[in-house]
Chain A
Amino acid sequence: QVQLQESGPGLMKPSETLSLTCTVSGGSISSYYWNWIRQPAGKDLEWIGRIYSNGNTNYNPSLNSRVTMSVDTSKNQFSLKLTSVTAADTAVYFCAREMGGPNWVFDHWGQGTLVTVSS
């Protein structure tokens, strides 16, 4: 059974760069799209972007200028960098796998990691 686990800092200061890593176990990272999704407390889910195992990316235009994703197939990991964070970036960040094929939906999720931006 595929499992995903996010890791990264829980507390950050405004203007810093958020770096999160998602480690995939129980399956290969190859041949799938891997996504980042966030959810501010009590608010809607927001798709941040995705990366394929070959490094191809798609980002949400609302965050495009601040987001970079990367993948390390040797470690079965993929990562998110979000620059110039503000309090508005405070949220639970989830990593998730796309189902594959034509279905751009998320069939496996990490447990989520809370990132708080505060001075």
Chain B
Amino acid sequence: DIQMTQSPSSVSTSVGDRVTITCRASQGISSWLAWYQQKPGKAPKLLIYAASSLQSGVPSRFSGSGSGTDFTLTISNLQPEDFATYYCQQANSFPFTFGPGTKVDIK
């Protein structure tokens, strides 16, 4: 199985800040990576797919980059509704696997 790691595990930040989350795959996955946002008691929401493609309806302050084994999710101008946990998922091979999550909370 492809193992996914994320850093940091949590970050405290403020409205208006820029946040960068890193995801690393244990082997190359080309650009087959997605990012999700999850709020407590809710299902994950797809933000980014194919490493850098913005899902329809997702604000442009979310952006993704990377290929191979190293990927980043950047949230610019953080808004109150962005405080949540973010997960990466490799979509390269079975079984699909997720990272352990990065919690973004208010400083």
Contact = CB atoms under 8 A, between A and B. Distances in A.
- Genuine A/B complex: yes
Interface of A: 44-47, 58, 60-62, 94, 96, 99, 103-107, 109-112
Residue of A60, A104, A109, A110 with highest tally of chain B CB at under 10 A:
A104
B95 A45 contact: no
B84 interface: no
A105 B98 CA distance: 11
A106 B46 contact: yes
Interface residue range, chain B: 20 to 34
Interface string B8-45: 00000000000000000000000010101000001111
Contacts of B45: 109
Interface of B: 1, 32, 34, 36, 42-46, 49-50, 55, 87, 89, 91, 94-101
11 contacts: A45-B44, A45-B89, A47-B98, A105-B89, A105-B91, A106-B36, A107-B46, A107-B49, A109-B44, A111-B43, A112-B42
Contacts of B55: 107
Which label, helix, strand, loop or mixed, suits the secondary structure of the A interface? Answer: strand
Contacts of A58: 94
Contact of B98 (A45, A99, A110): A45
